[in-house]
Structure 1
Amino acid sequence: MTTAPTRSREQVRRWRGYLADERAEAAVYRDLASRRKGPDREILLELAEAEGRHEQHWLELLGEAGERPTPVSLRTRFLGLLARRFGSVFVLALLQRAEGRSPYEAEADATPQMAADERIHEEVVRSLAMRGRARISGTFRAAVFGANDGLVSNLALVLGVGAAGAQPALVLATGIAGLLAGALSMGAGEYVSVSSQRELLAASTPSKESAAALTRIDFDENEVALVFRARGMDEAEAARAAHALLREREAPRLPANDVDVETVGTPFGVALSSFGFFAAGAVVPILPYLFGATGLLAVVLAAGLVGLALLASGAVVGLLSGAPMLLRALRQLAIGWGAAAVTYLLGLLFNASGI
């Protein structure tokens, strides 16, 4: 290996950091590939190979300095830990963010191709994560909605009742009742909602009998083109599509509905997720009362615990959606504390009025 003719200590430090991150990210891709099969496995291994090419670039610049052990960043270590433990869509979402934050575009010692590679890697990982996001979207929506509803509604409930002058035992009983009532209501509501949505979408899916009729239809005079026109095509496009479809002699298929029913989630799965996460969220604001806290101390502890949970929830939403995690976390916190503050002030007003 060769060494650069002139290089500063800062350059060497920066190059060694890049080298460590490239090695670690390649290891993460290989770990993920070991848990996959088919095209996804091949894609992840090719991404690891590309990271290896970048690694070689920094090795050539570092020369002998590249042979010494280099500390890996905490972010990359965290990615590797998640990949080994879970190998889930969460890891892909973190990798997508990591590739999108690549410093190579502003790094004079990186090649333009390396910077372009990182951008393409971001889109490849985004595409790999997209299917996982679609699979969990229904249950994830119910989980996030349930947890946040439990956190905010029960915090608002116990703070409002407490500020109105209720005794701690009554505040605790109210919180427990709110937990049970809300969780049951959320679970039942989600079950009915998702069942209705799936039935509505299924009504737009071509029947097996209609598909079977395609093999017996008149080739020159038929209404198959009308199906395509009803799906939004113009007359000429519909005619071409119908003609092509009818030439599929073995297994012709009518155009399917654009919305995948599976992304909605199963009624039972979504209901159970909503029930469980609402209950988990709703128990947080009553924890101080369960352990005997009263008065202002209980209010501060409940608001603080719920605030931490809201920050975590917002960060997870930001991670999986690709949005800024801090902004999503602060948004959740502002909404939750804002709603609780309103009910707390109303409780104080009622207490002061003797209502």
Structure 2
Amino acid sequence: MKHTETHRTHRIGWLRAAVLGANDGIVSTASLVLGVGAAGTNAHGVLVAGVAGLVAGAMSMAAGEYVSVSSQADTERADLARERQELAEGPESEHAELTAIYVNRGLDAALASEVATQLMQHDALGAHARDELGLSDSLSARPVQAALASAAMFALGAALPLLVVVVFPAAALMWAVSGSSLLFLALLGSVSARAGGASVFVGASRVTFWGALAMALTAGVGALFGVAV
């Protein structure tokens, strides 16, 4: 009977970028809207500021993710190039190194040596990348994927509080944006936690807490400068 298991590690790269993008989109745009609104700006001005924040934030997220993950990818490529050179110059020492890794994981020396031999015959670089460097296809850096996911999810997250700005009247804007944004954050935390196999309550709570703190502080700054003006 064939046994199949479902694991979630292959989701780590895009899930992290997507959750980070959506969270930042909701928090930063809602905070911007609340800060500008608390300063006494009219609904049109609040909407313009929010749209500008959406565009600027999405581009910033894309650029930041691309640069960050590209640096990771550069490091991975450099490590693989070095490992490839070491395999070419000293395969015996690399075999011994791989054998020692398997011994430390619980195999006896003879079996560890045989496993290292067979794996190196099949794919020496792949074996060392996986077991020595900790690199794998599911966890490898993908800059373009991370940038696109982060930018798209930021825009989607930012669009939610902006939709509230359009729908609700100016008199109810502050409470509507803050309340709906906290609800959006709770849903985001729940969905991302469920996708990653973590506690839904914990995921929702931590995202909502930090979002509420960011919005409160930004609204306070807006109110302070609005009164000062």
1:85-124 superposed matches below 5 A: none
1:309 aligns with 2:180: no
Residue 253 in structure 1 maps to residue 213 in structure 2: no
Shift of 1:279: 0.3
Matches within 5 A, 1:1-355: 42-43=2-3, 128-130=5-7, 133-205=8-80, 206-207=83-84, 211=87, 223-224=93-94, 227-228=97-98, 244=114, 245=116, 250-251=121-122, 253=124, 255-256=128-129, 257-291=133-167, 293-295=169-171, 297-354=172-229
Structure number with the higher helix fraction is: 2
Q: Letter of the aligned partner of 1:43 in structure 2? A: H
* TM-score normalised per structure 1: 0.54
Please state whether the residue corresponding to 2:165 is helix, strand or coil.
Answer: helix
| 1:213-254 CA distance string (max 9 Å, x none) | 67xx7xxxx5446755997989xx9x9799644688954625
Cα offset, 1:43, TM superposition: 2.3
**Does the C-alpha gap of structure 1 residues 315 and 213 become closer, same or farther in structure 2, counting only changes over 3 Å?**
same
**CA shift digits 1:161-195 (9 cap, x unpaired):** 11111122111111000000000110111112112
Q: Structure 1 residues 223 and 241, CA, compared in 2 at 3 Å: closer, same or farther? A: farther
Structure 2, gaps ≥5 residues long: none
Contact residue 147 and residue 279 of structure 1 kept, 8 A:
yes
Task: Please list the CA deviations of residues 104-146 of structure 1 after superposition, one character each: whole Å capped at 9, or x if unmatched.
Answer: xxxxxxxxxxxxxxxxxxxxxxxx232xx22111010000000
The alpha-carbon distance between structure 1 residues 230 and 154, as it changes in their structure 2 partners (threshold 3 A), is: farther
The code of the aligned residue for 2:191 comes to: V
Q: Distance in 2 between matches of 1:189 and 1:306?
A: 24
User: Matches of 1:129 and 1:224 in 2, distance apart?
Assistant: 33
Question: How far, CA to CA, are the matches of 2:206 and 2:53 in structure 1?
Answer: 24
1:290-334 deviation line (CA, Å, top 9, x unaligned): 236213x11122122212211111112322333321232122112
Q: 1:337 to 1:253 in 2, by over 3 A?
A: same
Q: Is the 8 A contact 1:319 1:325 kept in 2?
A: yes
Matched to 2:200, the amino acid is M
Are the counterparts in 2 of residues 150 and 278 from structure 1 also a CA contact under 8 Å? yes
SS for the counterpart of 1:258 is coil
In the alignment, the residues of structure 2 paired with residue 303 and residue 248 of structure 1 have an alpha-carbon distance, to the nearest angstrom, of: 56
Q: Which residue of 2 aligns with 1:77?
A: none
User: Residues of 2 paired with 1:247 and 1:150: CA distance?
Assistant: 49
Distance (whole Å) between structure 2 residues aligned to residue 305 and residue 192 of structure 1: 32
Taking the aligned partners of 2:96 and 2:63, their CA distance within structure 1 comes to 40
Distance 2:223 2:57 in 1: 24
Corresponding residue of 1:68: none
Q: Quote the residue 1:70 is aligned against.
A: none
* TM score, norm. by length of structure 2: 0.80
Question: Alignment length, in residue pairs?
Answer: 218
**CA contact 2:11–2:196 (8 Å) conserved in 1:** no
Runs of 5+ unmatched residues, structure 1: 1-38, 45-127
Q: 1:203 to 1:304 in 2, by over 3 A?
A: same
Task: Provide the rounded CA distance (Å) in 2 between the counterparts of 1:284 and 1:248.
Answer: 51
| Higher Rg of the two aligned structures | 1
Report sequence identity in percent: 35
